[in-house]
Amino acid sequence: MNIQDYKITQISVFIENKKGRFYNVTKTMKDAGVNIRAMSLADTMDFGILRFVVDKPKEAYDALMDSDFIIKKNEVLAIAVKDESGGLSELLNTISNLDLNIEYMYTFVNALENKAVMLFKFEEIDEAIEKLLTANEELLKEEFFRKI
Amino acid sequence: MFWNKDRETMSRKEIENLQVELLKEKIEYAYNNVPFYKKKFDDFGIDKSSIKTIEDIRKLPFTTKNDFRDNYPFGLFATDMKQIVRIHSSSGTTGKPTVVGYTKNDLETWTNLIARIAKAAGVTDEDIVHIAFGYGLFTGGFGLHYGLEKIGAAIVPASSGNTKRQIMLIKDYGATVLVCTPSYALHIAEVAKESGIDIEKDLKLRIGMFGAEPWSDQMRKKIEAELNIKAYDNYGLSEIMGPGFSGECEEQNGMHIAEDNFIAEIINPETDKPVKEGEYGELVITTLTKEALPVFRYRTRDITKISTKPCSCGRTLAKMSKPIGRTDDMLIIRGVNVFPSQIEEVLFNIEGISPHYQIVVDRKGALDVATVMVEANANLFFDEMKKQKQFLDNINYELKSALGIDVSVKLVEPHSIERSMGKAKRIIDNRKF
Ligand SMILES: [Zn+2]
């Protein structure tokens, strides 16, 4: 197993809470021929942090850079969750037992049949991959996001 | 390096004696040549015999910007137009512009005073000087131009506008000295970087002479680091001549005042009484050598302090600190006096912060709300909400400690704060009084 395979590139963009800014980001991606796979928006009154996983991270990064957006590149994990009640809480329980710290997480819908996919940002990604695989959790590989 | 060593190193006693003599002469000169002063001096019962010591200057009435407006355009001139060889005026964003005139001798004096501050900053006849001040009615461009030419430097009178082209000229002509406003210097650095210029390798700049707007020591450090130069401050205003009133020496710790041409006082702007040496107050200037437009006790509205302590450079001329604000820029937020420079100081202490900021004051209900807009950049952006909030809370905390009131920081997108070619617009006050 190569733990690098499970690291999924996530791009975060700073956006001011102003009309049209969200649209500008998605338009920049579209113009660059990039498809957004999963996305989350954390926002306050003043600003927002838009995070997403795409099929072509490099192209997305360059296009946003060229358009003067403020961005950060990060690595997250995609974990499959049973699409039934209690599925997520079971997973969170496992993570807690493994003593892993989550910085944030968000859902990725319609990814697999009968399963939901959650994206997690862990403090220590390498440790998280090893422990979760040992605990028999289903981690999705990066290539999965390139193809869907 | 000195330009008029004798004049710049007189003893304090000699300076005062000279000032008293020149002041008496000018009182008589203005009385005889400017009806406005004749009336004022008569009203105050003043003539040259009223002046025995330098403190006696306090008997004279103040002159304000309104006096210039009331006597628009040439009412305060002491000579007829035949002797006037140059006119400059302020931008006049509010009301009529302030008009100033110069005789041949006045221009000669001005040129020498600029040569003095340029020498004090280390400029020599070997330098190539790029002047990015607007040439025109504004005193900055022409003022610096003739003084620098006088010492034998090669002048590139680029004037303002088209930053990319300015950078090309600085690079191709090998400018070693840059003259402009401090905020424009930062803008040049920013645009140069964006256009892929390696400032250390591609440019030969070594000295910056910046003025025409207030700037903090943090901003100096930033400019010096970004442009790889030594940045010197100088001060002046068109009403009393233009730049050249004072300028920094190599110590970069206060601007030596041309006290053989001016008398500088610091007063409390509320009570009009003098403050103790070293205390902040409003700078009041009297011209001692101007022919076309003698001015007595001009209220500059700039807040600064003056020290007559000896300087390591050997000059005995008093030094004024960087103005920390203007009496009319002073924001009163929830009853507390706030100067934009205090906010700037906090911001520029933050690692990686963008030099572009703006202070917006609104009134919500009965409460003043001040927001500091800062352009975000990768250094200030954390992908985690908790860290991002923490970062902003820290700045808010620093601002509160410095100002004594709550001011909140808001990150805005890059380039969303308007860039200025001249003075940066730092304050937007939306309150209706
Ligand atoms: Zn000195």
| Domain ranges (residues) in chain B | 1-328, 333-429
pLDDT tens for A26-73 read 999 999 999 988 889 888 888 899 999 999 999 999 999 999 899 999
Structure tokens at A104: 């944030």
Q: With bands split at pLDDT 50, 70 and 90, how would you rate the model's confidence at A87?
A: confident
- With an 8 Å Cβ cutoff, are A121 and B416 in contact? no
What is the pLDDT averaged over residues B25-35? Answer: 97
Per-residue confidence (pLDDT) for residue B433, from 0 to 100:
66
Which percentage of chain A shows pLDDT scores above 90? 60
B363 CA to middle of ligand 1, Å? 45
* Dist CA A108 CA B352 (whole Å): 34
pLDDT tens for B187-209 read 999 999 999 999 999 999 999 99
Domain A5-74 matches domain A78-139 at the CATH topology level: no
What is the pLDDT averaged over residues A99-116? Answer: 83
The dotted CATH code for A78-139 is: 3.30.70.260
Assign a CATH topology to domain B333-429.
GMP Synthetase; Chain A, domain 3 (3.30.300)
Per-residue confidence (pLDDT) for residue B117, from 0 to 100:
98
Which percentage of chain B shows pLDDT scores above 70? 97
Q: State yes or no: pLDDT of B93 exceeds 60.
A: no
Chain B residues with beta carbon closer than 8 angstroms to that of A48: none
- With an 8 Å Cβ cutoff, are A49 and B412 in contact? no
Structure tokens at B318: 């008093």
pLDDT tens for B277-332 read 988 889 999 999 999 999 999 999 999 999 999 999 999 999 999 988 778 777 87
Select from A42, A46, A72 the Cβ nearest to the Cβ of B410: A46
Q: With bands split at pLDDT 50, 70 and 90, how would you rate the model's confidence at B92?
A: low
Q: State yes or no: pLDDT of B365 exceeds 60.
A: yes
Per-residue confidence (pLDDT) for residue A128, from 0 to 100:
95
Superfamily of domain covering A5-74: VC0802-like (3.30.2130.10)
Tell me the domain boundaries of chain A: 5-74, 78-139
Nearest CA of chain B to the CA of A112: how many Å?
A: 27
- With an 8 Å Cβ cutoff, are A42 and B376 in contact? no
Pairing of strands B408-412, B367-375: parallel
B62 CA to middle of ligand 1, Å? 29
Nearest CA of chain A to the CA of B99: how many Å?
A: 44
Q: How many CB pairs under 8 A join A and B?
A: 50
SS3 call for A126:
helix
Chain A residues with beta carbon closer than 8 angstroms to that of B388: 47, 49
Considering only residues B244 and B217, tell me which one the structure prediction assigns the higher pLDDT.
Answer: B244
Chain A residues with beta carbon closer than 8 angstroms to that of B382: 72
Q: With bands split at pLDDT 50, 70 and 90, how would you rate the model's confidence at A127?
A: very high
Per the CB < 8 A criterion, the answer to whether B148 and B129 are in contact is yes
Per-residue confidence (pLDDT) for residue B421, from 0 to 100:
64
First and final CA of chain B: distance in angstroms?
50
Per the CB < 8 A criterion, the answer to whether A9 and A75 are in contact is yes
Select from A49, A70, A74 the Cβ nearest to the Cβ of B385: A49
The dotted CATH code for B1-328 is: 3.40.50.12780
SS3 call for B273:
coil
Non-local CB neighbours of B190 within 8 Å, separated by 6+ positions = B226, B355
pLDDT tens for B218-247 read 889 999 999 999 999 999 999 999 999 999
Q: Residues in chain A, how many?
A: 148
Q: State yes or no: pLDDT of B49 exceeds 80.
A: yes
Structure tokens at B121: 């900053």
Which percentage of chain B shows pLDDT scores above 90? 73
Per the CB < 8 A criterion, the answer to whether B10 and B318 are in contact is no
Domain B1-328 matches domain B333-429 at the CATH topology level: no
Structure tokens at A57: 């991270």
pLDDT tens for B130-186 read 999 999 999 999 999 999 999 999 999 999 889 999 999 999 999 999 999 999 999
pTM: 0.67
Pairing of strands B427-429, B357-364: parallel
Task: Give the single-character DSSP code of B48.
Answer: G
Residues in B lying within 8 Å of A, measured between beta carbons = 376-378, 381-386, 388-389, 410-416
Per-residue confidence (pLDDT) for residue B91, from 0 to 100:
66
* Dist CA B142 CA B138 (whole Å): 8
